[in-house]
Structure 1
Amino acid sequence: MRQGGSRTVQNQPLPLVSIIIATYNAATHLPGCLDSITAQAYPAIEVIIVDGGSTDDTIAVLQQYNAYINRWVSEPDKGIYDALNKGAGLATGKWLYFLGADDRLLTGFSAMAQQLKDEDTIYYGNTKAEGPLFTGEFSAYRLAKYCINHQSIFYPAKVFQKYQYSLKYRIYADYALNLQVWGDKSIKKQYVDIPVAWYNLTGFSAVANDDAFKHDKPQIIKKSMGWLMYLRFLYKRRKEQSRPGSNFY
């Protein structure tokens, strides 16, 4: 295992936000991602990078940005969500935020971080992309139908003391986790109309399939959100899938 990171977080009156990035052979995109973090006005940021044992120049990039990274590790892993689970375990912030190496923070990230007040609340905003994304406020029912973009969400640390990403789902483990936490009455959800990040629609999660999640999704909804939501979802899915060209799952 290789590891590094030399940045320390100074005492700040603002809550610490841990930005967690999973990388693998990301040397092309990672500098732009890290530059978008260092450009933020919000001062209380911790950067955690978990690399899956890259064979390109990713390690050289990490070493180049060492002064801006609190901790990075590089070792073989079981995929993106294994890396993100590791990152959550390394984070010391009161809030956890997950960013792709090919994504970019917008200035709205800092404005959003200023909104973080209640450690029993998930705060989420919007993301932008070169194509359509589901944005705006999500009810439990809307989430049952459609995935909220991962890069729009700030999780209180308590979420990852209770939940983890399931490695069974190689693409939609974040969706599975969000279904769980949206059904958890002890965790409130607050939408703030702020664009947080630029999302790369050509990334792995945007172009690959996750048949295991699609198969299990109804049962996750039933377990997390109850029978009424489960039956409502099944009715909606049956109706939508009867339409030609539907990709509703």
Structure 2
Amino acid sequence: MRISIITINYNDVQGLERTIKSVQEQTATNYEHILIDGGSTDASKELMESYKNNFSFYSSEPDHGVYDAMNKGILKATGDYLLFLNSGDTLYSNDVLSKVQPYLNTSLAIVYGDLYIIGEDRPSFIHRYPSELDFNFFKNTSLGHPATFIKKELFDVYGHYRTDLKIVSDWAFFLNVICAEHVSYQKIDLTISNFYEGGISTSADFTELRKQEIKTVLLDHYDLYDSNYDALIKENNSKAAIYDLVHPQIGLITTNKTLLKILNKFISLLSFILRKKRSL
């Protein structure tokens, strides 16, 4: 199966070169690299020109945001599976595509592995995704694009990324195809990519916009939103803050229902102790 690696970029020439070199170092050969630049005003265009023989397609022109650029890449892709490796992110090892290939020679719609998170202001760690995905998982998080191989025909059947959403369109796509359409998927025991924190998807500045876009998706398509959802988000954010105080990876186990119950009991006990101390 052929893989289409799609990289989008805007004014991140250093990150772009890091990503390009990472792809070039792969031992596998059955892939293509597509680069979509949003009309950068730094040296990105010159860098693209210097590496142009390594791309099956590249362009530099204004777009309407991240998901518009990703959709442009989808339209140019000729591979069976797509991997979105955006500017700055890198593949975990130079043989990771070779290791993934055997899992792609199937009819699976989505194949995903783990993601190495390179922290901006916290220790780096491997984000290990669960093997079972359901609404309870997507209630808290989403699959990482750089760790997920998506069969191209999914976009033909279920549509491309919504461009009216600025932050959560990938989450909305995964929620639809996995939870509503029940497409096939498989978790593989491989770390796929290195993801550098600091972009729009991980910025605290966009927390409110993210919440509003999630609300829009749930109201428009699932009729699942009610006033309790605001309280749920607030509760999850509070728990996440406590998890990070203990260890940044503890929050990852909240997708496991048994471990979640244990962790919730621990949090309740911790809260009880804190209340007692304050009352003294």
Q: CA deviation at 1:96?
A: 0.7
Is 1:220 aligned to 2:217, yes or no? Answer: yes
Q: Indicate whether 1:175 and 2:171 are aligned.
A: yes
Instruction: Please tell me the residue identity of whatever aligns with 2:192.
Output: V
**AA matched with 1:144:** K
3-state SS in 2 of match to 1:28: helix
Partner of 2:245: none
Aligned residues: 230
The answer (yes or no) to whether the contact 2:167–2:201 under 8 Å persists in 1 is yes
TM-aligned CA distance change 1:27 to 1:158, over 3 Å: same
- Separation of aligned partners in 1, 2:218 and 2:133: 13
SS of residue matched to 2:196: coil
Which among 130, 139, 152 is matched to residue 133 of structure 2? 139
Relative distance call for 1:243 and 1:102 in structure 2 (3 A) is closer
Report the Cα offset of residue 150 of structure 1: 1.6
Mark the CA change 1:144 to 1:173 in structure 2 (over 3 Å): closer, same or farther: same
Structure 1 residue runs of 4+, over 4 Å off? Answer: 221-224, 233-237
Cα 1:244–1:202 change in 2 (3 A) is closer
Q: 1:121 aligns with which of 102, 106, 109?
A: 109
Q: 2:234 aligns with which of 236, 241, 247?
A: 241
RMSD: 2.7
SS in structure 1 at match of 2:189: strand
Offset of 1:40 from its aligned partner?
Answer: 0.9
Give me the TM-score of the superposition, normalised by structure 1.
Answer: 0.81
- In structure 2, the partner of 1:166 is 162
Task: Return the TM-score normalized by structure 2.
Answer: 0.73
1:189 is displaced (CA, Å) by 1.2
Deviations 1:158-192 (A, max 9, x none): 11112211112212211111111112435211100
Distance 2:176 2:208 in 1: 19
Query: Within 2, Cα distance between the matches of 1:210 and 1:88?
Result: 28
**Conservation of the 8 A alpha-carbon contact between 2:117 and 2:195:** yes
Deviates more, 1:18-27 or 1:104-113: 104-113
Percent pairwise identity: 24
Instruction: Tell me which residue corresponds to 2:62.
Output: 76
Moved more, 169-178 or 17-26: 169-178
- Secondary structure in 2 aligned to 1:199? strand
Q: How does 1:1-249 map to 2 (within 5 A)?
A: 15-107=1-93, 108-130=96-118, 131=124, 134-137=127-130, 138-140=132-134, 141-161=136-156, 162-185=158-181, 187-207=183-203, 208-209=205-206, 211-218=208-215, 220-221=217-218, 230=224, 238=231, 241-242=234-235, 245-246=238-239
Offset at residue 48 of structure 1 (A): 0.6
Superposed displacement of residue 217, structure 1: 2.3
**2:153 aligned partner, one-letter code:** K
